[in-house]
Every structure is written in structure tokens, then in C-alpha cells.
Chains A and B, each alone.
Chain A
Amino acid sequence: SQTIHQWPATLVQPVGSPLSLECTVEGTSNPNLYWYRQAAGRGLQLLFYSVGIGQISSEVPQNLSASRPQDRQFILSSKKLLLSDSGFYLCASRGSGELFFGEGSRLTVL
């Protein structure tokens, strides 16, 4: 089965600072990769998805961006964080059916 590594696990950043969250996947090749965000006590909001290297689709306009430099690597970035960017960020991978989630990165923007 797939294993998804996500880091950092937690981070506290000031408003206006940059962000980089990284995700790598093991146990599968050419997966479809996703970034979800979950605000406190809320549901799963799809931010970006990728069907291959360099192919990124954005679901929600915002100050975040994503990149996929390698088949099993997915990066979420921001040049300037907003307070509203706080949340629990989940990387996910999907092969033929099941969607697997990484352990998440909890971001607090102060």
C-alpha cells in the first residue's frame, strides 16, 4: 500500500512570511496527488490536484500555489501568508480507487 510522507508536521508562521509544505509518496508510481485544507472543525477543502509532473489544477483562487517537480513529490507554497491560511493541510494520493492521506501539516499563522 501507499505511504505518504508530509513535513513539517507543525509550524507557526507570521503573517506575510513564505510557506513551503512538502509531500512525497512511496509504494506507487504516477499517482494523482492532491492538497486539501481543513480549517478548525470544518470539512475538507480541495486546493490543488495533479495528474502528472508539472500538471497542476487549482480548485480555489487564493494566495497559495502548488508544484510537482517529480512523479511522487508535491509541494504547496505561498509567498505571503494570510491569517486565513491557518489550518490543517493534508496531502493525498490516489491510484486506482482509494484516496490515501498523509499525516498532515498543522499551520498557524499569527
Chain B
Amino acid sequence: GENVEQHPSTLSVQEGDSAVIKCTYSDSASNYFPWYKQELGKRPQLIIDIRSNVGEKKDQRIAVTLNKTAKHFSLHITETQPEDSAVYFCAASGDTGFQKLVFGTGTRLLVSP
């Protein structure tokens, strides 16, 4: 089955800096890669996702890149703000609904003013 590794486990940056979180996956059949943000005590919420037919996707200050050959994908947050502080999870699965999302272990991002 799929295995997703995520690093770093914690990341501290100054406000305005960029943050990068990296994930690797094992199953070459996976073709859907979402990123979730979880604020303290709340549910995870999707912030961006990418499918395997695309190498990069951007949404304002957030971008995700995918390298299918190397089986890794990354989340990039530019111009970080204190409200970006949260735990971020990557995941991988097939694109059809019945396939399970396998999550990484999470990255705790702390943005200091």
C-alpha cells in the first residue's frame, strides 16, 4: 500500500519568510496529492491539491509542486503570516473516491511576528 513521508516535523520561520514542506510517496499509481491545514483544536481543511497531470499549481501565496519521477511533492508558502501557523498534512491517493487518502505525519509551522 501507499506510504507517505513528510518533513520537517516542525518548522519555525519569521513573518515574511518562505516555508517549504516536503513529502514523498511510494505508490507510483497515486495521482492525487492534497494538502490540509489544521489549526489548533479544529478539523483539517483542504488548502490546495494537485493531480499528476500537472507539475505545479498556485493559489495566491500557496503553491504545490509535483515530481512524479522522483515521487515527491512540496508545499510552498511565500510571505508567511502569523495566521499561517498551524499543522500541515500532505496526502496521496488514487483519484477516484473509493481510494483511501494516506496522510503524512504532519508539519507544525510556527510563524513568528
Give residues in A with beta carbon < 8 Å to B: 31-32, 34, 42-44, 46, 49, 51, 90, 94-104
State how many angstroms separate the Cβ of B25 from the closest Cβ of chain A.
15
Q: Judging by beta carbons under 8 Å apart, are B100 and A46 in contact?
A: yes
The interface residues of chain B, by DSSP majority, are classed as: loop
Given contacts A43-B89, A43-B106, A44-B44, contact A99 B101 (CB under 8 A): yes
Would you call B97 an interface residue if the criterion is a C-beta within 8 Å of the partner chain's C-beta atoms?
Answer: yes
- Specify which of B42, B43, B89, B95 is in contact with A97 (CB 8 Å cutoff): B95
With CB as the reference atom, state the residue of chain A lying closest to B101: A99
A-B contact pairs, 18 of them (CB 8 A): A34-B100, A42-B106, A43-B106, A44-B44, A44-B89, A44-B103, A49-B100, A51-B98, A96-B96, A97-B32, A97-B49, A97-B95, A99-B46, A101-B43, A103-B42, A103-B43, A104-B42, A104-B43
Give residues in B with beta carbon < 8 Å to A: 32, 34, 42-46, 49, 89, 91, 95-98, 100-106
State how many angstroms separate the Cβ of A37 from the closest Cβ of chain B.
12
